Each structure stands twice: as C-alpha cells, then as structure tokens.
Structure 1
C-alpha cells in the first residue's frame, strides 16, 4: 500500500476542520488523545473555561468525527482528568460519547503510588515501604491529592480483541506459569491500572512547556494494546507536545495530528526529530555490531 503524503505530520489547524478535510471514513486504526479538560488550565492560546454545555457539545462533535474516521475494529483511547472541585467532568464527557461508542475498558493511569511492605506479603522485589511517582499536592483539609487520571477505551461495538500481553508483566509467583493453562510464558495481563510516572517536576518544567501533556509511554502502551501488527495509522486530534507522534515513530507506525498552537507544534516536531535520530543511531550501532560479528565468524571459519 502506498504511503499517503499527508501522514506523519502535525497540522496547524482545528481538529474538527482537520479531520473533515484530511481524513476519509474508516482511515484510522487507533486514536490516542488528551483533550482540554475545561478546568481552567492555562494553555498558550486555548481558553480552557467554556460554559459546561458548550464544552460537552464540542467534545461530542469531536467524538462523532473520530467515530467517522475510525475503522470498525479500531480503538479510541481518551485520556481525561478531573479536579477535586469538579470530579464529574471526565465521566460527563464519557457519558456524552456513550451515544456514539461502547466503553470497552476503563483504564486508570496512576501517576504516583505508595505501597507499604506489610501490605504486600513476601514479594521478593519489594524490600520495604516505597513511594514512587510525582503529583501536584493539594493544600486542603478536605481533599486528597489526585494521583490518577482516566483513560477511556472506546470502540464502535465493544468487541475489539486486544493484544494484552504486548504490555504484559512478568508473574511475581513463577509457579503460576505452570498452574494456569492460559499462561504460555512468564507474562500476564497487566490489567486496567497502569503506573506511568511523569519525569521529575524539574525536568518536566524544562522540557515540557505544556501544562497538561502525558508521558510518551502512555500512547505507546495504548497502541501496543490495540495490536501493533494491525496498526497502520494513529491519530491524535489534540497533539500538544507530540507524545503520540513520538510513540508512533518509536513503534514504527504512521501518525497524523492536529494542534492549534504553533509553539506546541514546534516543540512536538523537535521531539519527533530527536526520536528519529535516536532510532537511526541505534540502528547504526546494531548494524555495526552485526557486521563485526559476521566478520569475526568468517575469520574463525577460515582459520
């Protein structure tokens, strides 16, 4: 199949306009995106404080357009958060999309977690109490600090088969490998709770000039879960700093995205270029090692 020239680009345009003008019906395999949450977040150019009904109507319009461009067996991963003062917003968006999609999975993206040794038993890799990840602490006597966001996995009919072991984790108890008939290797279903930490707050401020970007590992895991072998095109309607594009490049699949902020596009394109260079460097190192190994083998055989 000939590669479309419109792929592997981030377009400086509104996502509704972009999808309507550039994407055909059923062209996209996977959508991974994180829209504005309408929580008053300070973006460069977008006003994140629309009247509630206007915001929900807009998100529904975006959802309908995503449904049009998504393949019947495609996956739509929607990352959305909330605040203690507005805990319903994520679910209100999900309920608006209920008219157009089946909510096949609800994934919890955990940014930070504390685990006490006494609660986990004899897990050999946990030697003591641990607290990992980063979060924005809440200065309140009423509310708890928020450690997670939602990733809603929407599909058209709710029957999309997933490659669960592509993001699987090793068994802690290795005896389960023989005990469970479904266990073919030391790998099990990760489940719907994903611990994906941010970079440190200091480096995030330095390298991520965006108030609400997600780590590259998040779209990478979503794409893998859907099934890398059947993913040809990934769409992010709200590309931001390009984490979805970077993940697509890393996994060797095509992407297309839209973003209204030209500065974010500039940063995203720099990140994509850096990822391509890293992959090229790794490929060259691998080639050199293979070539060296081949020459060594030939000399040994001659001797």
Structure 2
C-alpha cells in the first residue's frame, strides 16, 4: 500500500531468513498481524475478504528495514504469484483486489510482467493511473521528486491494477466520484445528483515532505486518499479490507475512517509500532 505509500503501505513483508513468530494486535475494528504475509495469509478463511488494497515491494532497490528489495526478477515474480494465489483463495466472489505497483525508468516492464503473471488468477477489470504530480500549462501540482538523468523523464505516476475474479463486479462509481464542473450537465443529461465517475486517472498528490522522518522512515508510502478511493469505489458498507503489505498502516487507517474492518500484515516491528500508534491517534481524534 503509499502519509504513508503503503503509506504507509509496506513493501517490507518477507525475508530470506526464517520469519519470526506472528503476533497479533487489535485496535478498534482493525487487526494487525506481525509476521510473514504468506504464512499469515494461509490462516485467513477462504472467501472472507471484500477488498484487498496493497502496495508490495517494487523490486527496484528501495531501502526497506527488513526486506531486500533487489531479488532476481523470476524469484520476485514467483513469490508475488504465491501471494496472489492466496489472495484469490480468500477474496469473495464479488471482491476487488487493488494492486498499487510501479517500475523504474531502468525497469519499466516489471509491473506489466507481474500483471501478465496474474492473468491466470484474476481478470483485470480496471487499470487506474495514479498521478502523483502533473504539469498543466506553465503550472505544476503535486509533490515533485527531482531525478538526475539525461535519458529519462521524471516519473509522476504509478499503476493501480484493479483485479476481480470474473470481471463483473459492480462498483459504486459515484461514491468515489467528483462533482460536475458544468452544473448544467446535471439536469440536461438527467443525472440524479451532482456526481460523476472519477475515471481511471486519479490525481492524488503526496503531502510534501522534507525527509524520511516525515514519511515514518519508510521508503515507499502512499497517501490515505488512495486506499480510501479504492474502498469507496468497491462500494460495500462495513467491508472487510486486507493489506498483506501493511507497512505503516495507511490502508487500515483508510478502512478505520470509512467504518470498515481491516486486517494488515507486516514483518517489520518498527513499522507495526508506527501503524498501531497511527490507528490509536486517529481513534482518539
């Protein structure tokens, strides 16, 4: 999940050494499992999850605390396929799996290689472009992270692949929608409310930060608004939400604010501690 991306959404959820024994924490309607996600997923009942929103490691060399983010590509894809097989098993028949992932300028194919691997398990119902920064005319919006390169353009977007089991899940497009710019469209086109579909390009900027400490010392976080939009789009009240790469708890924070039940999995104890504190602070506010 990417606030935190995985945003806290962690991509720090497995290791080559023997994983520690899982520990569980409950904060309100949110539950956290500290341990290896593959082991934890095998304990989740089949067909019990409405929405998965997650941002796994990108395998592009990010500096996670407990995960080596530079595996051989085939090893990485095989591991992600194992995770996806468990997600297919536990997802309800009308469930949604939102996978946030990005490549790098040097590895642009990796997200698509993963999406193709998942083709035997899921249907790609929607492909959403998450725009983090954009220039319109001579103005710019969003958090811009400079890149020193004579070859590549600044990367201002990431992918959100919306997978379902059969490709026929009905969504609440208006709940996740936006008001009409031209209000005459409401009556002229017979719409019942001042909302329209947001489309498949979502501009959700990061909050500007000046150092890793402001991102909970996590290298890959996403804004709370990203999992919120995914949960709203799926459109089930009191949904059961899962993030197997929880990081610093952003997906669970979104679930909590929307009155949903959340389950997050994370290997790193410091990220788990941050997630617990964020959820407790949010409940108290």
* C-alpha displacement of 1:83: 0.6
2:279 to 272, 275, 283: 272
Deviation at 1:16, TM superposition (A): 0.9
**1:204/1:143 CA distance change after superposition, 3 Å:** same
Classify the secondary structure of the residue corresponding to 2:42: helix
Q: What residue number does 1:20 align with?
A: 42
* Partner SS state of residue 164, structure 1: coil
**What TM-score, normalized to structure 2?**
0.88
Q: Which runs of 4+ in 1 moved over 3 A?
A: 4-7
For 2:64 and 2:239, how far apart are their aligned partners in 1?
A: 31
Q: In structure 1, how many angstroms separate the alpha carbons of the residues matched to 2:117 and 2:147?
A: 29
Residue 9 of structure 1 aligns to a residue whose secondary structure is strand
1:130 and 2:130 aligned = no
Match of 1:105 in 2: 126
**Structure 2 counterpart SS, 1:77:** strand
2:215 & 2:283 partners in 1: Cα distance?
Answer: 18
Which of these residues, 27, 31, 34, is aligned with residue 9 of structure 1? 31
TM-score normalised according to structure 1 size: 0.83
Structure-2 residue corresponding to 1:189? 197
In the other structure, the counterpart of 1:216 is: 224
Cα distance in 1 for residues equivalent to 2:34 and 2:277: 15
Match of 2:111 in 1: 90
Counterpart of 1:38 in structure 2 is: 59
- Aligned position for 2:165: 156
C-alpha separation in 1, matches of 2:28 and 2:255: 15
Distance 1:168 1:5 in 2: 30
RMSD: 1.7
Contact kept? 2:27, 2:280, Cα under 8 Å: no
Q: Secondary structure at the match of 1:215?
A: coil
Distance between the aligned counterparts of 1:207 and 1:60, measured in 2? 29
2-structure distance, mates of 1:215, 1:81: 15
Deviation at 1:206, TM superposition (A): 2.2
Indicate conservation of the 8 Å contact 1:81/1:90, yes or no: yes
Residue correspondences, number: 260
Cross-structure match for 2:9: none
Aligned to 2:235: 227
Between the aligned partners of 2:249 and 2:115, the Cα distance in structure 1 is 24
> For structure 2, which runs of at least 5 residues remain unmatched after alignment?
1-25
Q: What are the superposed Cα offsets for residues 146-171 of structure 1, whole Å, 9 maximum, x if unpaired?
A: 00000000000000000001111111
Residue 179 of structure 1 corresponds to 188
Q: 1:71, 1:6 → 2: CA distance?
A: 23
**Structure with the higher helix share, 1 or 2:** 1
Partner-residue secondary structure (3-state), 2:263: strand
The equivalent of 2:262 in structure 1 is 255
